């Protein structure tokens, strides 16, 4: 017991005696402890960005023939011709999907000014099923709406085509999939959804005489095919492009998306 007390006394005297090692150790503790504590707190409480629940509309301009036509910053370029257009942002929140699909349904009117659809996906998380499944399901409904729009036209003149850009965002992140893999993952998941919905229709008690027409109407792409591909939608005058990019960070940025938009307005 006396030895322990002696050791404690010696240690206490050591840390209380002014010396360079003690000063350096004390300064390191004082400086590093707040940083370490901040790091632990940041890691234990992840920051989450809540999706907006209101659509937003903004007026933009784009050009196909200016010197900086390939850049989203070309609104500062006075060369060439510029076209104004409205970008209506309806985030993927579940409460807003009906709004987006209703706006798509109204595009069957000849007076509709809907020129294109930009469907943004998270390329850094699309490999996870909890992200891929709802994303592909929403995209399925959007594409099916465009397919029905083309096939159900009662006029001799078909409605103007509405191209779709699947923008694979966040490709500057290490975990992001390249555009080709984003495309193949979405096609594979849409194939699964198409098969599941078809089976659900057969199991729902729909009359035998009604199964054919009902299933055909809700079948996305070429009817009866085993695997879905975006190319199948060309039959319905729907072009789908999957292009990688990123809004923030280093990398290709949004210029390829902007160029796609400029070519279609």
Q: Give per-residue pLDDT as tens, 48-57.
A: 555 567 788 8
Angle at 11 between CA 7 and CA 12, to 5 degrees: 115
Task: Say if residue 16 is in the same domain as residue 104.
Answer: no
Residue 122 sits in a domain whose CATH number is 3.40.50.300
232 is a domain residue: yes
Average pLDDT over residues 75-84: 68
Give the number of domains in the chain.
Answer: 2
Q: Which residue has the higher pLDDT, 17 or 62?
A: 62
Q: Are residues 210 and 163 in the same domain?
A: yes
Same domain, residue pair 19 and 112: no
Paired residues of 243 in beta bridges: 167
| Nearest Cα residue to 109 out of 147, 155, 144 | 155
Same domain, yes or no: 40 and 74: no
Distance between CA atoms of residues 223 and 182, nearest Å: 23
Pairing of β 164-169 and β 117-122: parallel
Mean pLDDT calculated for residue range 89-115: 76
- pLDDT tens per residue across span 135-175: 999 999 999 999 998 887 666 778 889 999 999 999 999 99
Phi-psi region at 168: left, alpha or beta (left = phi > 0; alpha = psi -120 to 50)? beta
Residue 130 has pLDDT above 90, yes or no: yes
Decide if 36 is inside a domain.
yes
Among 25-39, 79-93, 119-133, 209-223, the least confident range: 209-223
Tell me which residue range forms the domain holding 143: 56-262
Residues 158 and 201 in one domain: yes
For residue 118, pLDDT beyond 60 = yes
CB 226 within 8 A of CB 148: no
Q: Please tell me whether residue 121 adopts helix, strand or coil conformation.
A: strand
Please tell me the predicted confidence (pLDDT) of residue 215.
62
Phi, psi for 57 (deg, rounded to 5) = -125, 135
Q: Is 51 contained in some domain? A: no
Same domain for 142 and 177, yes or no, is yes
Residue 49 lies in a domain: no
Q: Residue with structure tokens 């029905």?
A: 148
Whose tokens are 């499944």? That residue is: 133
To the nearest whole number, what is the mean pLDDT of the chain?
80
Class of residue 190 by CB neighbours under 10 A (exposed 0-12, middle 13-18, buried 19+) = buried
- The SS3 call for residue 188 is helix
Answer yes or no: is pLDDT of 204 > 60.
Answer: no
Q: Is residue 8's pLDDT more than 70?
A: no
């Amino acid at each position: 017991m006396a030895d322990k007390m002696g050791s404690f006394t010696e240690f206490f005297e050591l840390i209380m005696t002014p010396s360079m090692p003690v000063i350096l150790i004390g300064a390191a503790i004082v400086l590093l402890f707040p940083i370490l504590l901040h790091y632990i707190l940041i890691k234990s409480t992840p920051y989450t960005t809540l999706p907006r629940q209101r659509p937003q509309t903004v007026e933009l301009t784009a050009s196909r023939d200016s010197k900086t036509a390939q850049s989203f910053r070309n609104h500062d370029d006075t060369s060439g011709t510029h076209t104004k257009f409205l970008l209506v942002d309806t985030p993927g929140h579940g409460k807003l999907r009906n709004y987006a699909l209703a706006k798509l349904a109204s595009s069957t009117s000849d007076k509709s000014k809907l020129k294109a659809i930009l469907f943004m996906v998270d390329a850094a998380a699309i490999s996870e099923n909890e992200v891929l499944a709802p994303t592909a399901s929403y995209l399925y409904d959007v594409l099916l709406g465009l397919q029905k729009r083309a096939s159900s036209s009662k006029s001799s003149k078909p409605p103007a085509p509405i191209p779709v850009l699947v923008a694979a965002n966040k490709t500057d992140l290490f975990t992001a999939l390249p555009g080709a893999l984003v495309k193949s993952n979405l096609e594979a998941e849409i194939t699964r959804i198409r098969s599941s919905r078809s089976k659900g229709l057969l199991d729902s008690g729909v009359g035998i005489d009604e199964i054919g027409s009902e299933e055909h109407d809700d079948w996305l792409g070429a009817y009866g095919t085993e695997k879905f591909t975006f190319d199948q939608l060309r039959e319905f005058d729907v072009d789908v492009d999957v292009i990688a990019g990123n809004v923030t960070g280093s990398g290709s940025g949004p210029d390829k998306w902007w160029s796609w938009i400029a070519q279609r307005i």
